[in-house]
Amino acid sequence: MKNYLRRHVDFQLGISALLLSLIGVVSIYSATFDARASEIFYRQMIWIAVGTGVILVLMFVPFRLLQAVSIPAYVVSLILLVFVLLLGKTVSGSTSWFNLGSFRIQPSEFAKITTVLALATYLSRSDVSLLTPRGLAVTFTIVLAPVILIMMQPDFGTAVIYFGMLFALLYWAGATRFILLAVVAPPAAALGALLGTTPFLIVVAVFGVLLYITKEHRLVAAVVFSIMVLVGISVQFIYDGLRPYQQKRIATFLDPNADPLGAGYNILQSKVAIGSGGLLGKGYLRGSQTQLNFIPEQWTDFIFCVPGEEFGFLGSATVIVLFGMLLIRGITLGSIVKSKYSSFVAIGLTAVLFTHIVINIGMALGLFPVIGVPLPFLSYGGSALLASTAIVGILMNLYTNRKEY
C-alpha cells in the first residue's frame, strides 16, 4: 500500500499546498483577530474544506476526460466572463463577481485554468507550429479572448497573469527568440514610458538591437519595433483614461512617498511590517502593524506581511521555500510526463502560480504596483483559493498519469 501511494500520489505537491494553506489560515486569523472580521477566518476555513475536496476529485478524474473537456470548459469560461459583465456585482470598481448568497465567485480565476487547458490542447496537436502565422494567431487569440473580457471589467491584475502564462507556454513550445522578444517588447516599452523619457528610450534602443540581431524577417521585426514604440507613446493617453484610483496606484508604485497617507499608505505600512519582523519576528498575534490594523484588509493582497512581521525573516523564508517546492515540482512534472498535452498543462499552470507569487510578494515589498493579485493559498478569497487548489489537483492528476501518452 505504501509503495502504491508513493507511485501514484505526489506528496511534495500535496504537502506543500497543505502547509501553505495552514500558514494562510494562521495568518488570516491573526490579521482578523482585532479587526472585527472573524467571519473572514471562518469563511476561509469553509473554502479550504471545499478546496480539499476539489483536489481529491481532480486527482482521480480520468486523464482522458480531463483532456476531452478542455475546450468545452474554456468556452464555458468565456460565456461566464460575458455574463459577469452583464449581471455581475461591482466591487472596488471592477465588475468581476457573481453573488451566491453570502459568498462571491470570480469567474476570471477559473478562466486562467481553462485557458491553460485549451492552449495545451491546441499546442499539443501534431499539425500546429509556432513558426507559422496561423499557429501564432490561434495561440494569441486563445489567450487574448479572456484577457479582453477581463480588461472590460476592468481587472488589470488578473489580466497580467495571462501574459506570464503565455510567455512560459511559448517558451516551452519552442518559440523562437524573436517571438519571445515580440511578446516582451511592448510591455517593457510601456513600463519604460511610465518611468520617464530616458528609460523609455533605453528600452527602445535595447529591444531594437535585440530584434535586429535575431536575424528574423526584417519587415516583421520593423512591425514589432513600431508596435513597441507606439505602445510606449500611447502610455500617457492610456494613463489619462484610467480611473483615478488606478492612476494613484501607478503613481504610488513610481513613488510611494508621494502620498504616504493616501495611495502610498498600504505599501509603506507593508514594508514597515515586513522590515520590523527582523530575524525571528515579534511573535504570533503580537505584530503591531497587523494587530493595530495599520494595513486595511490585510488578509487579502497584503497577507504576506503577517508571517513577515510576526515570524520575521524565518517566516517569510518558509513561505518562499514552500512556494519554491511547489513551483519546482510543477516544472519537474512538465519534464517527466509522457504526454505532450500534460507537459504544456504542467508548465502553464505552474506559470500561473509563479506570476501570482512574484507579483503579490513584489507588491508587499513595494517592487510592483498594487494591482489586486492574491497570494495563492494564503490570501483570503474563495475563488482564488479554489483556483489554486484546482491547479494542485490537476498537477497531482498529471503525476498519477505521468506515463500516459
Give the Cα separation of 71 and 67 in Å (integer). Answer: 8
The pTM of the full predicted model, rounded to 2 decimals, is 0.90
* pLDDT at residue number 37: 66
Burial 198-221 (b: 16+ CB within 10 A, else e): ebbeebbeebbeebeebebeeeeb
Burial of 178 (0-12, 13-18, 19+ CB in 10 A): middle
Give the Cα separation of 349 and 344 in Å (integer). Answer: 8
* pLDDT at residue number 272: 82
Closest CA to 9 of 47, 54, 46, 60: 60
Task: Estimate to the nearest angstrom the gap between the alpha carbon of 129 and the chain centroid.
Answer: 27
Helices vs strands, H then E, count in the chain: 18, 3
Low-confidence ranges of the chain (pLDDT < 50): none
Largest CA distance in the chain: 64
Is-contact 32 38, C-beta < 8 A? yes
The three cell numbers of residue 355 are: 506570476
Give the Cα separation of 292 and 125 in Å (integer). Answer: 55
* pLDDT at residue number 75: 96
> Distance of CA 177 to CAs 180, 192, 278, Å?
5, 21, 42
The three cell numbers of residue 30 are: 491573526
The three cell numbers of residue 15 are: 504537502
Per-residue pLDDT of 139-150, as tens digits, reads: 999 999 999 999
* pLDDT at residue number 19: 95
Is-contact 128 135, C-beta < 8 A? yes
Give the Cα separation of 121 and 134 in Å (integer). Answer: 16
The three cell numbers of residue 286 are: 503580537
* pLDDT at residue number 157: 83
Amino acid letter for position 335: S
Is-contact 204 229, C-beta < 8 A? yes
SS3 302: coil
Report the 10 Å Cβ neighbour count for 76.
15
Q: What is the dihedral of CA 199, 200, 205, 208, to 10 degrees?
A: 140
CA angle, 82 as apex, 182 and 138 as ends, to 5°? 30
Give the Cα separation of 351 and 308 in Å (integer). Answer: 24
Phi, psi (rounded to 5 degrees) for 398:
-65, -35
Report the 10 Å Cβ neighbour count for 331.
16
* pLDDT at residue number 379: 93
Per-residue pLDDT of 315-332, as tens digits, reads: 999 999 999 999 999 999
Give the Cα separation of 400 and 397 in Å (integer). Answer: 5
Sheet holding 94-100, edge to edge: 89-91, 94-100, 103-105
Give the Cα separation of 387 and 337 in Å (integer). Answer: 22
* pLDDT at residue number 368: 82
Give the Cα separation of 316 and 323 in Å (integer). Answer: 11
Give the Cα separation of 366 and 46 in Å (integer). Answer: 31
